[in-house]
Amino acid sequence: MLLVAPVAQRQRIGDSPQALCGLEKLKVVRSAVPAVTHVDYSARIQTVDQKRHGRLYRLLKAFEAKTGCR
């Protein structure tokens, strides 16, 4: 993990319901990238480098080519 950044407004889905508390807050989908979006709409950024992570980099590039998802 390199840094924490806010999830872009265009990727967000609605607002977090205020009535929920505890673990119930974790069940709400908050963005188009729910696996990395926290309850406060922040995300821990992960990076993959072609030189150091060649195999994973190629896998992610193939996924991007097939789905258009970056």
What digits encode the pLDDT tens for the residues 10-60?
999 976 667 788 888 888 889 988 888 998 999 988 889 999 999 999 999
Contact of 26 with 35, CB cutoff 8 Å: no
Given this model, what pLDDT does residue 55 score? 97
Given this model, what pLDDT does residue 16 score? 63
Q: What is the pTM of this model?
A: 0.62
The whole-angstrom separation of Cα 30 and Cα 41 is 7
Phi, psi of 29 (to 5 degrees): -80, 125
The whole-angstrom separation of Cα 41 and Cα 33 is 11
Given this model, what pLDDT does residue 19 score? 79
Contacts with 22 (C-beta within 8 Å, 6 or more apart), sequence order = none
